[in-house]
Amino acid sequence: VVITGIFFFFFDRNELAKILYDSGADIDMVVSQKTNYLISGKDSGWKKLEKAKEFGIMIFNEDEILKILGIKK
């Protein structure tokens, strides 16, 4: 999992990364062919988005990841 952008529900990306890590996810900083998911917040890095699309990686926004994690706003 790679996380990019600004999130409103989470204090910072580290908070989201910890939740995902505690759920069993591997957190990476760079999108590669081994990346399974990209979580994209506001003002996400365009290079990460471009690479994710190039590699066919699933991209989730903040609302989608909150729903997946079962977190209510």
**53-69, pLDDT tens digit by residue?**
999 999 999 999 999 99
Contact 39, 60 (CB under 8 A): yes
* CA atoms of 67 and 11, how far apart (whole Å): 17
pTM above 0.85, yes or no: yes
Query: 45 exposed, middle or buried (CB, 10 Å; 0-12, 13-18, 19+)?
Result: middle
SS3 54: helix
Q: What is the pLDDT of residue 72?
A: 84
